[in-house]
Amino acid sequence: MVLKRNVEGVLWALSIGSLFLAALTSSRPLLLALALVWFASGVTVIPLHFYRAWRKWPKVPNRRQYALWVGFETLATATLIVLGVCLVLSK
């Protein structure tokens, strides 16, 4: 279980770190590589995060509050992803 948490932490660090590095560079090949790292880590870590959160739901003592929070978190993330895709496609 500790290894799984470490993998998720590394993926979050890769995702966020690649965005910070992209803001510091103007090299097109490096930007492409960072975009690929960001996309691959983001596509992996976001569903993994929600999968683990929803799997934990039956085990928490305050299930109603936990379900409301994780549901809100899931809905907000899905909304941001859809809005981001719409912004990219509208250009």
Domain ranges of the chain: 2-90
Does pTM top 0.85 for this prediction?
no
- Residue 4, Cα to own-chain centre: how many angstroms? 15
Distances (CA, A) of 80 to 44, 63, 65, 77, 87: 17, 25, 22, 5, 10
For residue 5, the model assigns a pLDDT of: 62
Residue type at 72 in one-letter notation: F
Q: Which residues of the chain fall short of a pLDDT of 70? A: 1-5
Do 86 and 45 contact (CB within 8 A), yes or no? no
| DSSP tag of 33 | H
The two tokens of residue 74 are: 């899931």
- Confidence (pLDDT) at 76: 93
